[in-house]
């Protein structure tokens, strides 16, 4: 993870959250995605290698906890209290973008919109 070398809380937070794809990965985990494939499904265009690297960086930063699946195949990714505390930050970023950024059809991939809606509003049980 890059270090800006500044005594500034915004710089320190950016060292963790401002890497490309990281906010999307954290969003997916906070929405309840716990497996690699679930996280990847909500981030089309993100390479599996970069996702792997970002997940390990987030674990190193204390944002997520990675543990083996009970069946021994793959891992589970869960937010730590540190990671859960990022929810208001991501929601504020979203509110800012809603207010100030133009959303065009190129920003509205129907697969991602449907995926996001299902993550938030469908009961998985």
Structural element, H or E, at residue 108? none
CB 57 within 8 A of CB 95: no
The total of other beta-carbon atoms located within 10 Å of residue 25's CB is 25
Residue 100, token pair as written in the block: 């100030």
> What is the pLDDT at residue 49?
97
- Please give the backbone phi and psi of residue 34, each rounded to the nearest 5 degrees, phi first: -120, -10
Express each pLDDT in 12-60 by its tens digit: 899 899 999 999 999 999 999 999 999 999 898 999 999 999 999 999 9
Kindly indicate the confidence band of residue 113, based on its pLDDT and cuts at 50, 70 and 90. low
Question: CA 70 from chain center: how many Å?
Answer: 23
């Amino acid at each position: 993870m890059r270090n800006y070398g500044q005594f500034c809380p915004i710089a320190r937070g950016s060292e963790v959250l401002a890497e490309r794809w990281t906010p999307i990965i954290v969003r997916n985990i906070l929405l309840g995605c716990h497996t690699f494939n679930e996280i990847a499904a909500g981030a089309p265009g993100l390479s599996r290698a970069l996702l792997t690297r970002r997940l390990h960086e987030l674990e190193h930063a204390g944002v997520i906890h990675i543990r083996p699946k009970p069946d021994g195949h793959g891992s589970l990714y869960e937010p730590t209290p540190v990671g859960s505390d990022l929810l208001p930050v991501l929601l504020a970023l979203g509110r800012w973008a809603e207010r100030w950024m133009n959303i065009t059809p190129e920003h509205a991939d129907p697969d991602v919109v449907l995926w996001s809606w299902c993550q938030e509003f469908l009961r998985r049980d």
